[in-house]
């Protein structure tokens, strides 16, 4: 009997230790969020996710009550710890992406004060969703090539991320564990083409290469790397040519980004610390004078500002100027 009492007390203390003191209001918000995102848990998992959700929600509220250039919000990741998020959505295979001396040739200015390729014509495909796979590098690659191809030909065609996941490993890419757009462009160049999304649809996991050469729809003649940390050259490329890929270091606060110009003191800014690849489709300046990039992400339209985010420009924020690239078409 005494042992049973001791066991009960120990179990109760463990439960208290693992579960935060959540209010009824917080649990109500969690249940609303579960319904919105179609989440179902068993009892043990429910209390664990309630703990994580409550922690994230309090962090979001605390951030939004302060003086910051961006706001946070609940999203599809709100029941995840950052360690879990990093495992499923970011590179887990370290990448050194620097191009110390790039091959981009800058043109003389002046350049427009703002550019947005989404408003220039039908040059940017809709936001996609990588799912539980660290394949952001493939979406950055296809997004850029789709735009470059559309600008050159007038036809916007969605291209295959899955082909890159399955087939580009010989170019130092690792499927759902990570890779680099510049290396993916190299693969497309030497492979002689990339298929469409329709012909080689996305699965969101590593699979066997099923490339069909006769169905290749986009071709790369060469890869252009922008010199490491040369953010002015990045601006010049977006202003005069096309959207460009870049990679940066995602930290826990970015996971909850909602709107505004993202800026962080948590992230690192070196070429060896980047863990996520995206597509810069434009740039501009806030009314308060803060310059920013307009960036397309690959976490679906429910995240951020309809799947996009703004990030501070001109300071190599989170290493975003460490490795930027774009392809030249073979037409």
Each residue's pLDDT, cut to its tens digit, for the chain (331 residues) gives 444 444 433 434 434 344 457 899 999 999 999 999 999 999 999 999 999 999 999 999 999 999 999 999 999 999 999 999 999 999 887 777 766 566 787 776 788 999 999 999 999 999 999 999 999 999 999 999 999 999 999 999 999 999 999 999 999 999 999 999 999 999 999 999 999 999 999 999 999 999 999 999 999 999 999 999 999 999 999 999 999 999 999 999 999 999 999 999 999 998 889 999 999 999 999 999 999 999 999 999 999 999 999 999 999 999 999 999 999 998 7
Cα 163 from Cα 165, distance rounded (Å): 5
Compute the radius of gyration of the chain from its Cα atoms.
22
Contact 269, 316 (CB under 8 A): yes
Dihedral (Cα; 267, 58, 291, 295), 10-degree rounding = 80
Given 133, 144, 256, 276, the catalytic residue: 276
pLDDT at 107: 74
Asked if 276 contacts 260 with a C-beta cutoff of 8 angstroms, the reply is no
User: Does the annotation count 318 as an active-site position?
Assistant: no
**CA 50/CA 186 separation, integer angstroms:** 45
280 - beta bridge partners? 244, 295
Residue 276 designated active-site:
yes
Catalytic residue selected from 56, 75, 149, 297: 297
DSSP per-residue letters across 238-277: HHHT--EEEEE---HHHHTEEEEEE--SSS--STTS--EE
Say what the pLDDT of residue 257 is: 98
Cα-to-chain-centroid distance, residue 221: 26
136 a catalytic residue: yes
CA distance 194 to 182: 14
Half-sphere exposure of residue 24: CA atoms within 13 angstroms, side-chain side:
0
Token pair, residue 40, equals 């179902």
Which of 136, 267, 318, 323 is labelled catalytic? 136
Peptide bond into 110 cis (omega under 30): yes
pLDDT at res. 290: 97
């Amino acid at each position: 009997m005494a042992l049973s009492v001791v066991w009960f007390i120990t179990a109760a203390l463990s439960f208290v230790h693992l579960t935060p003191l959540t209010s009824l209001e917080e649990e109500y918000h969690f249940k609303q969020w579960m319904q919105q995102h179609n989440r179902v848990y068993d009892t043990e998992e429910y209390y664990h996710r309630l703990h994580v959700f409550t922690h994230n929600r309090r962090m979001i509220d605390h951030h939004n009550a302060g003086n910051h250039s961006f706001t946070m919000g609940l999203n599809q990741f709100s029941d995840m710890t950052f360690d879990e998020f990093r495992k499923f959505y970011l590179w887990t295979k370290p990448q050194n992406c620097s191009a110390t001396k790039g091959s981009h040739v800058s043109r003389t200015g002046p350049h427009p004060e703002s550019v947005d390729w989404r408003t220039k014509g039908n040059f940017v495909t809709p936001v996609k969703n990588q799912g539980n796979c660290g394949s952001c590098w493939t979406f950055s690659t296809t997004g850029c090539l789709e735009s470059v191809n559309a600008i050159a030909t007038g036809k916007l065609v969605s291209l295959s991320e899955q082909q890159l996941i399955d087939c580009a490993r010989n170019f130092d890419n690792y499927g759902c564990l990570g890779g680099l757009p510049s290396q993916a462009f190299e693969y497309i160049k030497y492979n002689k083409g990339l298929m469409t999304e329709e012909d080689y649809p996305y699965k969101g996991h590593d699979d066997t290469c099923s490339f069909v050469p006769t169905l290749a729809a986009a071709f790369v003649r060469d890869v252009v790397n922008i010199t490491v940390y040369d953010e002015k050259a990045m601006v010049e490329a977006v202003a005069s040519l096309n959207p460009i890929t870049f990679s940066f270091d995602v930290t826990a606060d970015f996971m909850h980004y909602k709107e505004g110009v993202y800026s962080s003191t948590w992230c690192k800014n070196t070429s060896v610390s980047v863990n996520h690849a995206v597509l810069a489709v434009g740039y501009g300046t806030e009314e308060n004078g803060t310059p920013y990039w307009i960036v397309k992400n690959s976490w679906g339209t429910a995240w951020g500002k309809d799947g996009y985010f703004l990030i501070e420009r001109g300071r190599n924020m989170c290493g975003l100027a460490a490795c930027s690239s774009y392809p030249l078409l073979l037409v």
